[in-house]
Amino acid sequence: MKATANGALNLSVLDGWWDEAYRPELGWAIGRREEYEDLGLQDELESNILYDVLERDIVPLFCDRGPDGLPRRWIARMKDAMEAICPRFNTTRVLCDYLERFYVPASRGWNTLTDGGLAGAAALDAWKAKARQHWPEVRLESQQVMGEPEVLSGKPVPVELRVSLGALSPDDVQVALLVGRLDAAGELAEREVVAVEWCQDLGRGKHRYRGLIPPRDSGRYGFSVRVLPRHPYLADPYDLGLVAWG
């Protein structure tokens, strides 16, 4: 990213920031995001791609010079890269992202917990104790896919869940579906988190939820049900190490 500000052109695998910034007119990519289990094979293939790009594209472009001895097409690409990349990938953006996404929320959270003689922290601690005590009561009672087993791609499929929360309330948990296409072994190959809505208190700590599975492409789809703890003062739902699957 810093090199671009000085006119350098990037050549790299499509990973990290370059995966987000890459366009053919701005630089070069090694591969197309392939994943390899054999790292030796990956090194061999990507090194071959690297030398091929150097030989066929980069060196000829840099050596293509006019009467003035300047590589005009190379310079044009330098300018395009600086114009497109520098405003988006820079320290100002990084600092703003950290400020807006982490530092400001962390400061607000600290104030919430410490104001009023640590009243918020005491409330959160009491809720954590309650969640730990009653989490063994949390479980999926039943799940039902509404409608036909085969639907048109893009048509949402309703799902109804019955979840036992015991002494906890729907405000104490977040229920979601992990939806994705199934691989040959019947496992979720791709996962998308889909929120479900609370619908009804069925009594005796049981509740009904309803959600929609969005099959965006054709193929076999499946889902798992995930229940995590939830509290307005809880910074991370995984903080307690509690989760229920169904």
Q: What's the whole-model pTM score?
A: 0.66
Amino acid identity of residue 176, one-letter, is: A
* Encoded tokens for 127: 């809720």
DSSP 47: H
**Which residue ranges of the chain lie beneath pLDDT 50?**
none
Given this model, what pLDDT does residue 1 score? 65
- Which tokens in the block code for residue 84? 């497109």
Residue 198 lies inside a defined structural domain of this protein: yes
Specify if 194 maps to a domain. Answer: yes
Query: Measuring CA to CA, which residue among 156, 168, 231 is closest to residue 196?
Result: 156
Predicted pLDDT of residue 148 = 72
Q: Of all helices (H) and strands (E), which one includes residue 5? A: helix 2-5
pLDDT at 14: 94
C-alpha separations of 214 from 25, 100, 159 in Å: 35, 31, 11
What is the spatial distance between Cα 148 and Cα 219, in angstroms, rounded to a whole number? 15
**pLDDT, tens digit, for every residue of 73-83?**
999 999 999 99
Residue-level pLDDT at 186: 80
Mean model confidence pLDDT for the chain? 92
Residues 232 and 145 in one domain: yes
Query: Which CATH number fits the domain that encloses residue 226?
Result: 2.60.40.10
Residues 141 and 230 in one domain: yes
Tokens 């703890």, located at residue: 229
Domain span at residue 14? 2-94
Using an 8 Å Cβ cutoff, are 123 and 113 in contact? no
Can you tell me the distance from the alpha carbon of 40 to that of 30, in angstroms, rounded to the nearest whole number? 16
Q: What percent of the chain has pLDDT over 70?
A: 99
